[in-house]
Amino acid sequence: MARNNGLDTPRETRRTLRPNIDAEAFGRLSEKFARFLGTAGFLVYMSVFVLSWVLWNTLGPRDLRYDEFPFIFLTLILSLQASYAAPLILLAQNRQADRDRITLAEDRARNDRSMADTEYLTRELASLRLAMNEVATKENLKDQLGELSKEIAKELGRNSKPDSK
């Protein structure tokens, strides 16, 4: 049986042992975690947890203590938490930097459009002002008509006088 490898038919999906990770969902989760790490609530929870741990393993019944004085297990837990928190915080920061970069590019494009619009409107306003200087205004027409009527009156006055020759 021949396999059709044309571009018009989709390939069969293959099963892999590698997990399918949605990068966007993982990024959103890391941002939520990073935001939580930066709150006072996290510091309070962490302080209560560490204080409880130390008190229990110092003052609790000797046979129920699970981590004696140097608190090696507590150190391991805190180191593990820090080793996961740091990359998640960096991932959240990278995502924020990407969003900032996109926002900056959009702002730059919007500013360019605004500048082009402003320059266009400035040119249009200048052309309207030039055109308005060439348009006859009411006062201009009044002055012109007044001068013409005076000239006509002078001419009529000259023509109506009898020649004294």
pLDDT at 1 over 70: no
Per-residue pLDDT of 118-137, as tens digits, reads 999 999 999 988 887 777 77
Across the range 140-145, mean pLDDT stands at: 87
SS3 162: coil
Q: What is the 3-state secondary structure (H, E, C) of 61-113?
A: CHHHCCCCCCCHHHHHHHHHHHHHHHHHHHHHHHHHHHHHHHHHHHHHHHHHH
Calculate the dihedral angle through the C-alpha atoms of 16, 19, 20, 26, rounding to the nearest 10 degrees. Answer: -170
Please choose, from the candidates 26, 40, 43, 152, the residue with its C-alpha nearest in 3D space to the C-alpha of residue 88: 26
Tokens of 72: 């090696």
Q: List, in order, residues 6 or more apart from 37 with CB less than 8 Å away.
A: 85, 89
**Contact between 102 and 94 (Cβ < 8 Å):** no
Per-residue pLDDT of 15-52, as tens digits, reads 778 888 888 888 898 899 889 988 999 999 999 999 99
How many Å apart are CA 87 and CA 78, to the nearest integer?
15
The domain locations on the chain are 23-155
**HSE-up (13 A, CA, CB side) for residue 120:** 6
**Contact between 87 and 26 (Cβ < 8 Å):** no
Per-residue pLDDT of 80-92, as tens digits, reads 999 999 998 999 9
